[in-house]
Amino acid sequence: MKRVIVLGAQVPFIRGGAEFLNEELVRQINLWGKQRQVVAELVQLPYRWYPETEILSSALAWRLLDLNESNGQKIDLCICTKFPTYAAQHANKTLWLVHQHRVLYDLERTRFDFPHLNSRDVALRDALRVSDTQLLSDIESRYTISQTVTERLQQFNGLSSQVLYPPSKLAPLITSGDYGDYILCIGRLESMKRPDLLIRAAAHVPKAKIVIAGTGASDYALSLAPLVHELGLQDRVELTGFVEDEKLLALIAGCRAVFYSPVDEDYGFATLEAFAAHKPVITVDDSGEVGRIVKATGSGLVTGPTAEEIAQSIGDCYARTGAQLRALADEGYRLSTSITWDRVIRELVEERI
């Protein structure tokens, strides 16, 4: 029996794309491994990024772990995902990088970073970057979940990697329905995802109906309902909160288009989930991999990150027929069907144990 572990770092009580991806990766390896005497398990540690010293503590906690065996039995393969899981000790590690600790790199000194850094914080970050590069360079087999993450790894750490797109766990269940009267936004309600842009844009398109499905507990998330009322959009904007998969699938199947405008997103499952339903995606030109995929496939509309510009794209979607919207999403649909777990497991597991 071969044993595989997938390593995850999770902020307690927060579940997003990375957490779902890790769980689905383990499930898929176990399905594949039933006839091949291979089993997989998810190993996680809690992660905290504040104060700055906690980042070092988290990295050290992983570094102290020797995961070459468990209970006297060999662990054959260790798959590391995001910072700082790749600090763990194992003789056969492979990297499928979701993202690094981004405030060390592309988000440093942006509005998503801490507003003030003292000299100790700066020195600590410098040390973490050196350590990060060394730990990542020690892993020969390096994959990332997107071209955006691969480019960051090359830019900031001077390390090459291969892109290996992950499938959505919902992909096999997604169907294409009618092109309804609402624009759908799905994901966590946080400032880096910017669902408020969609709400503000709706104020400029009188016939637009908006459904935003997701949860959040931050001040930003709590500000969205008051914003809807402030703009007088109670009859046209619905904040559903958390929805079960069955409801989410129905929302995707029946929407006119999907809106997704994160800040320099690592990947963005919502994009491929929209494409799987033959729906176009409205996004913005600083959305990272989302914009890259939409531009490459031509399966949506990419505009500037302002309410007025987004409103024009929304109006465009309402002006098109269902047949035209379906045709717009054709290349995206083809891309979504080409992203499979067979390839992921072949690259990450089959060739390494």
Q: At what angle do helices 330-338 and 269-276 cross, to 10 degrees?
A: 110
More confident residue, 113 or 315: 315
Closest CA to 105 of 153, 49, 50, 48: 153
Among candidate residues 164, 187, 207, the one where a domain is terminated = 164
> Do residue 32 and residue 74 come from a single domain?
yes
pLDDT value at residue 118: 85
> Do residue 104 and residue 238 come from a single domain?
no
Closest CA to 82 of 341, 286, 292, 266: 266
Residue 86 banded pLDDT, cuts 50, 70, 90? very high
Distance, CA of 63 to CA of 57 (rounded, Å)? 10
- Does any domain span residue 232? yes
Among candidate residues 130, 149, 164, the one where a domain is terminated = 164
Rounded percentage of the chain residues whose pLDDT exceeds 90: 89
- Does any domain span residue 275? yes
Q: Which two tokens stand for residue 353?
A: 């144990």
> Do residue 124 and residue 7 come from a single domain?
yes
CATH number, domain with residue 13: 3.40.50
* Beta strand 69-70 pairing with 73-74: antiparallel
Q: At what angle do helices 289-297 and 269-276 cross, to 10 degrees?
A: 30
- Does any domain span residue 182? yes
* Beta strand 141-144 pairing with 162-163: parallel
> Do residue 108 and residue 188 come from a single domain?
no
- Does any domain span residue 348? no
- Does any domain span residue 353? no
> Do residue 159 and residue 190 come from a single domain?
no
Q: Which two tokens stand for residue 278?
A: 């033959």
- Does any domain span residue 264? yes
- For the segment 242-270, the average pLDDT, to the nearest whole number, is 98
> Do residue 91 and residue 204 come from a single domain?
no
Distance, CA of 184 to CA of 273 (rounded, Å)? 12
> Do residue 209 and residue 301 come from a single domain?
yes
Residue 226 banded pLDDT, cuts 50, 70, 90? very high
Amino acid at position 188, single letter: R
> Do residue 151 and residue 58 come from a single domain?
yes
Which residues are bridge partners to 210 per DSSP?
Answer: 183, 237
How many domains is the chain partitioned into structurally?
Answer: 2
Residues 320-329: tens digit of each pLDDT: 999 999 999 9
> Do residue 232 and residue 334 come from a single domain?
yes
Closest CA to 96 of 191, 33, 167: 167
Residue in this structure with the two tokens 């990150």, named with its chain if needed:
305
- Does any domain span residue 350? no
Residues 263-275: tens digit of each pLDDT: 999 999 999 999 9
> Do residue 149 and residue 266 come from a single domain?
no
Closest CA to 2 of 35, 45, 43: 35
pLDDT at 261 over 80: yes
pLDDT value at residue 317: 98
> Do residue 277 and residue 334 come from a single domain?
yes
Residues recorded for the chain = 353
Residues 107-166: tens digit of each pLDDT: 888 888 887 788 888 898 999 999 999 999 999 999 999 999 999 999 999 999 999 999
Residue in this structure with the two tokens 């700082």, named with its chain if needed:
84
Among candidate residues 148, 164, 180, the one where a domain is terminated = 164
Residues 166-188: tens digit of each pLDDT: 999 999 999 999 999 999 999 99
- Does any domain span residue 104? yes
Residue 302 banded pLDDT, cuts 50, 70, 90? very high
pLDDT at 103 over 90: no
Distance, CA of 316 to CA of 326 (rounded, Å)? 14
- pTM, entire model: 0.94
Q: Which two tokens stand for residue 256?
A: 């006119």
pLDDT value at residue 108: 86
> Do residue 135 and residue 34 come from a single domain?
yes
pLDDT value at residue 122: 86
- For the segment 23-44, the average pLDDT, to the nearest whole number, is 98
Q: Which domain range does residue 43 map to?
A: 2-164
CATH number, domain with residue 229: 3.40.50.2000
Closest CA to 88 of 122, 64, 115, 112: 64
Distance, CA of 201 to CA of 224 (rounded, Å)? 13
